[in-house]
Amino acid sequence: QQQVKQSPQSLIVQKGGISIINCAYENTAFDYFPWYQQFPGKGPALLIAIRPDVSEKKEGRFTISFNKSAKQFSLHIMDSQPGDSATYFCAAGQTGANNLFFGTGTRLTVIP
């Protein structure tokens, strides 16, 4: 059973555009929602994370929007750049638990 559902599977955005990736979860015990960025040949790297006490978190061009009632969260990349081309994974976890449940990933391509 997929604990975290992620869409779209792939995304192509023009340089300067907004990239939006969506995730949904079922387990209401989750209280930690990170996004990871992975470049080819590299391990995933933590990009930004949010906890359910806030509805939005922004770090530079990256913003997480969180909707607790809908059990959904999304990553917005503003002013997308070719260097943002990578695979993005959302995840969900619970404080005190070791396991993070990952989405299936979104391959983002930003074309110049």
Partner 1 sequence: SAVISQKPSRDICQRGTSLTIQCQVDSQVTMMFWYRQQPGQSLTLIATANQGSEATYESGFVIDKFPISRPNLTFSTLTVSNMSPEDSSIYLCSVQGQGNGYTFGSGTRLTVV
Q: In angstroms, what is the minimal distance from the CB of 37 to partner 1?
A: 11
Q: Name the residues that contact partner 1, by CB under 8 A.
A: 2, 4, 32, 34, 36, 41-46, 49, 89, 91, 93, 95, 98-105
Give me the helices (H) in 1-112, please: none
- Of the two residues 34 and 77, which places its CB atom closer to partner 1 in the complex? 34
Q: C-alpha distances in angstroms, 105 versus 15, 33, 55, 62, 101?
A: 21, 14, 22, 17, 12
Local structure of residue 2 (DSSP, 8 states):
-
Q: In angstroms, what is the minimal distance from the CB of 26 to partner 1?
A: 14
Q: In angstroms, what is the minimal distance from the CB of 99 to partner 1?
A: 5
Say if residues 64 and 19 touch (Cβ distance below 8 Å): no
- Of the two residues 32 and 72, which places its CB atom closer to partner 1 in the complex? 32
- Of the two residues 62 and 103, which places its CB atom closer to partner 1 in the complex? 103
- Of the two residues 39 and 111, which places its CB atom closer to partner 1 in the complex? 39
Say if residues 112 and 80 touch (Cβ distance below 8 Å): no
Say if residues 21 and 12 touch (Cβ distance below 8 Å): no
Q: In angstroms, what is the minimal distance from the CB of 52 to partner 1?
A: 13
